[in-house]
Each structure stands twice: as C-alpha cells, then as structure tokens.
Amino acid sequence: MPPLDDAEELLWRSLTRLVITVPRAMSADLEGSRGLTVTEYLVLMHLSEAPQRQLRMSELAERTALSASRITRVVDLMGGRGLVTRHPSPDDGRSMLAMLTRQGLQTLRKAYPEHLRSVRRNVFDHLNADETASVGEVLSRLADAVDAANPPPPRRPPKRRAEPAPRPS
C-alpha cells in the first residue's frame, strides 16, 4: 500500500483535526451560553424530530454515535435536569424509550440560536457559497461510502432466561 501523497495527507489530517476541534468549540459555546454539551444538544434535537418526541435508547445511541452505556448515562443525567424521561416501551417491555419533556423542548428552542451562531462562526463563515455546496456534496458522498462499507453489526436477540431446573419430588 503506497503512502498518502501530499494532497491526501493534507485532507486526512485536516479532516481528523476538524472531527476533534469543531465539536469541542461548539460544546464550549453551548456550555457557556446554555449549560449544554454538543452531545446533550444532539439528544434533544434527535428526540424533538422523532415521532411523539421519543426514541428507543438503542436508536438514540446510534443517531448520536454513542455506546449503549454512554447514552444511558447521558440520558440519566439529562433526566435529573428534567430535560428527558426514560420509560419501558409499551410495545416491547425489554426496550427503553427516551422521551423529550416540555422543559427539554424549551431548552432546545432557547439553545438553537446559540447553536446556529456557533455553526456559522466555526464553519460557514469560512466558506463561500460554492465551497459550501461542493464540500457538502463531497462529504455526503464520503459519509455514504463509509456507511455502506461498514454496516452496523446485526442486533443480537435479547438473552433468554434459563428455565429453572425441575425439582426432585
């Protein structure tokens, strides 16, 4: 496998740097103005867009790119602040649902202008309209290719409880 050429090296290093620096800068903006991390903002956003403003915890974890244990901790912390609730799914007692509260929706609405300012300040203020269109198309194509080449692992069925051993008579 040949090493990366100069253009590839520049793209790769810039992309990895952005993956770290943009969320960090946006978290600092949101935490300073609204007391929310980018992760918490994403949880509120995804729940606000979901039917009945609720999602299975596994779906929320997937949409936020967090592990099951990490999304549980985040949702529990947000629940302690009254932003979300967690309850068993009525369709499947084994699944848990995260649901956006009224307070969570109000918090999201209040945070949105700061989020928008941060996105513009950290990204779009540095691109012209043509660059925005072309970079958007390229990154979307790249994201689609990576998703297609790396599908999520199949879901494992829930573990069944072992049947109790028969008692001797």
- Whether pLDDT at 160 is above 60: no
pLDDT of res. 153 = 73
pLDDT of res. 103 = 98
As a whole number, mean pLDDT of residues 133-148 equals 94
Tell me which residue has tokens 């929706």. Answer: 105
pTM confidence score: 0.80
pLDDT of res. 6 = 97
Q: What is the DSSP letter of 97?
A: E
**C-alpha radius of gyration, the chain, whole number:** 21
Sheet holding 96-100, edge to edge: 54-56, 96-100, 84-88
- Whether pLDDT at 89 is above 70: yes
How does pLDDT run across 32-61, given as a tens digit for each residue? 999 999 999 999 999 999 999 999 999 999
CA quadruple 37, 52, 96, 56: dihedral, nearest 10: -70
- Whether pLDDT at 158 is above 70: no
**79's tokens:** 């629940």
- How confident is residue 92, by pLDDT bands cut at 50, 70 and 90? confident
CB atoms within 10 A of CB 31: 14
CATH number of 40-116: 1.10.10.10
